[in-house]
Structure 1
Amino acid sequence: MRYYRLPSRERGTDSDALVVVDGEDDAYDLSTASDDLGSFTELARAANASDRSVDAIARDRIPDAESYDLDSADSDALLPVVPDEVWAAGVTYSISEEARKAESGKPEVYIDVYDSDRPELFLKATPSRTVGPNEAVGIREDSDWDVPEPELGVVLHREEVVGYTVGNDVSSRDIEGENPLYLPQAKVYDRCCSLGPCVATGGVVEDPHDLTMSLTIERDGDVVFEDETTTSQMATTCETLVKYLRRHNDLPETLVLLTGTALVPPETFTLHEGDEISIDIEDIGRLVNDTVVV
C-alpha cells in the first residue's frame, strides 16, 4: 500500500488526512475511521502495539473510512511522514565514489569508504529543515556548485523498516570538496532535504534493490539534465545501512534513512534558483520540488 498525507476533505476542518491507496485507484482517508490514525507515525504506532503490519491495520479500518478522490494528489501531497531525524549514507554506488573523488582534493578518503565494511552515515536533516512535495528545496547562497541527489529513503519506526519513500539529499559539492570536514555545512542547512510523495510499504516495494530511479531537472521549461539508474547498482544494501545506523545509537521513534545516490550531474552543472527537480522511483512515485537560494 501507499500512504499519503493530504489536506482533509472534511468540511470545517483544516487538519491533514492520512490517505491509503489500495491498488491503483482506491483511496481512503484513514483519519475518518479513527482519530488515532491521523498520521503515518500514528498508524505505525498502532501496528507496533498490536504486533501487526501497518497494512494489516489499514485494511481493518478501510471499511470504516471515507473514500478519497486522488485527482489532485500530485499537487496537494504534503510531507508524507514527519521524521524526528533524517539520516543519509554516502559512497554507496560506484558513481558516487567517482563523483566524490572528482570534487575532492583528498580522493583517498572516499576510496577508503567505498572499500570498507563500515558505510558513511551522517545526520542529514531535522524536521524544520525537511520539505515535502511541491515545496522549494534550498541551495546555499555561499556555494557555487549545488546539486540534487536522488535517493531511496528507508522509513523506520522504532528501529524497524516500515516503508520506503523518495528523497532528495541536496548538497553543496564545492563546500564538501574543499575539505571533507566541511560535510555538515555542505549537507545540513535550511531546506536541505525533501521527501515524498508517499510512503510505500513492502507489499508494493518487493525488492528495494531492484527499482528504477530517474532524475529530471528543468530550467525555464527546458530539460537541462536527465538520467536514470537502478538501485541494483548499490554496493551496500539497505539492511547493512540500517544495521550500522542502529549500532550504539538510540534512534528516535520515526526516522528516514537516505541510501545514497548514483545520479550525479556533471561537474559543469549547478542548480539555479527556480529550477524544477523531478525524482521518480519505481513503485513509489514522483517527488517534485523547485529551488530557492537560502
Structure 2
Amino acid sequence: MLPEHNPSPEATFVGRVWRPGTGPALVRLDGDRVIDITVTAHPTMADLLASADPLATARSAAGEDICSLSDLLAGSTPDAGPDDLRWLAPCDLQAIKACGVTFASSMVERVIEEQAAGDPDRAEAIRAKVGGILGDSLAGLVPGSAHAQEVKNVLLGEGLWSQYLEVGIGPDAEVFTKSQPMSSVGWGAAVGLHPVSSWNNPEPEIVLAVNPDGRIVGATLGNDVNLRDVEGRSALLLGKAKDNNASCSIGPAIRLFDDSFTLNEVRAAELRMTISGTDGFELEGSSSMSEISRDPADLVAQTIGAHHQYPDGFMLFCGTMFAPVQDRDAPGQGFTHHVEDVVRISESSLGTLTNTVRLSTECPQWKFGLRALMTNLAKRDLL
C-alpha cells in the first residue's frame, strides 16, 4: 500500500495519467497497479462520472496494465517533461468551482486580510481586535439564521462588517470559478504563485466530483492556492488571486462513493497538511470538515440547479478552515510561501496530494486544453 495514493484496498479510485507517446488516459487503481480503462464508451473522466453508475462502470471496465504506482510516483515530479509518465489532475471536461469562507476560522482571516488591505504587517493588530469582538460568537453559527443576523448587527455597530462575513454567515454561499477545465495540475507537479504576491498560502480542501445531474459521485483532495495580499486589497481581484498558471492542484485520484465511503465520510473528514521549506521551516495544519458552516450537499445545491447547469459536471472545492498565522520571515507577518516549499495534504480515506511551490511564471505553461484533448482522442479512435 502506498499512502501517497491508495489508502484503502477495497476503495475504487479513478484518475488520469499521461502515457508517453499516447497522451491522457483514464485509469483505475488495482492495488499497486495502474490500469488504463480509456474506451469509446467513456474516453474522458466527465463521461465516466456521467454514466448511470460510475462505480459499477469503473469496477467492471477491462483495461491495460500500464505501470505500477511506484513507477507513476517516480515520474510525477515538478520537472517532468511534457511526454513523461505522470499523474494528471483526475478531472478533464468538468468546470472547476470553489466555495469560499465556509469555515468560521478562515472567515475571520478573510476579514483580517480585507481590513489590512493585503498588508501582512497590519494583520496581527487587526487579528487581536477582531478576535476580541467576535470571541466564540461564530462557533456553531448557522448561516442565514436569526443568530447570524444578530452577529451581523454587532459587527456593523463596530464598523467591522465585511463582504466575507456576508457570504460566511449570510444565506448565500460564495461560489466562484477556481480554474478552467483542463488547467489543474496533479500529484507531484509544481503549483504556482503569481509573482506579484508576497503573502500567500496553500488551502487544503476536499473536492467533490459532481455529475451533470448534480449528484455527488466521489471526492478527492485539492490545493486552492491562495494569494492573501492580492485578494485582501480588493475582493474584485479574486480572479487574479485564484486563477493563474498551476494555481490549482487536484488529486491524486477520485474515490468513488460506495457503501463504505459516502458523503457522510466526507462530512467527517480530517485533513492534515505539512509544509516543508528548503530553509528548514516546517508547518503543520489541519482542517476538519465537521466544523464546516455549510453542509457539502448545500454547497452543491447552491452551485447547480434550475439557476445554473453543468452539462460536463464539475469539481467543487468545499473550502478550508486552515489559515496559517505562524510567523516565518518576520515577527507579526505570519506565514507566506517560499519557492520550493513542498506541500502535502492528506486524508485517511483519500490518500495524499503532494506538490512543490514555484512561481506561476516558472511552472510549465498550460498548453494542452480541450481542443488538444479532442484532437488526441479522435486520433486514437476514441471519439
**2:152 is the alignment partner of 1:154:** no
Cα offset, 1:221, TM superposition: 7.1
Cα offset, 1:111, TM superposition: 2.2
Which stretches in structure 1 are left out of the alignment for 5+ residues?
A: none
The C-alpha deviation readout for 1:117-143, integer Å capped at 9, x for no partner, is 211111111035422222211111112
**2:185 is the alignment partner of 1:111:** no
Residue number among 193, 213, 227 corresponding to 1:139 in the alignment: 193
Q: Which residue of 2 aligns with 1:30?
A: 37
The residue correspondences of 1:1-294 to structure 2 (distance < 5 A) are 1-8=12-19, 13-21=21-29, 24-25=31-32, 28-31=35-38, 34-45=39-50, 47=51, 51=52, 53-61=53-61, 64-67=62-65, 69-74=68-73, 75=76, 76-105=86-115, 108-127=162-181, 129-158=183-212, 159-203=214-258, 205-206=261-262, 207-220=265-278, 222-247=280-305, 248-266=307-325, 268-294=334-360
Partner Cα separation in structure 2 for residue 128 and residue 4 of structure 1? 13
Are the counterparts in 1 of residues 46 and 94 from structure 2 also a CA contact under 8 Å?
no
Change (3 A) 1:82 1:128: closer
**Number of residue pairs the alignment of both structures matches:** 281
The C-alpha deviation readout for 1:219-251, integer Å capped at 9, x for no partner, is 117352111232111111111001011141132
Are the counterparts in 2 of residues 96 and 262 from structure 1 also a CA contact under 8 Å?
yes
The C-alpha deviation readout for 1:10-40, integer Å capped at 9, x for no partner, is xxx5233322235x55653323xx4434432
Partner Cα separation in structure 1 for residue 284 and residue 42 of structure 2? 38
Percent of pairs with identical residues: 28
Cα offset, 1:8, TM superposition: 4.1
Are the counterparts in 1 of residues 14 and 58 from structure 2 also a CA contact under 8 Å?
no
The C-alpha deviation readout for 1:155-212, integer Å capped at 9, x for no partner, is 1121322211111111111111122222222222222211110011112532211111
Partner Cα separation in structure 1 for residue 283 and residue 91 of structure 2? 29
Which stretches in structure 2 are left out of the alignment for 5+ residues?
A: 1-11, 77-85, 116-159, 326-332, 361-383
SS state at 2:276 partner: strand
The RMSD of aligned alpha carbons is 2.2
TM-score normalised according to structure 1 size: 0.87
Give the number of the structure whose residues are more often strand, by fraction: 1
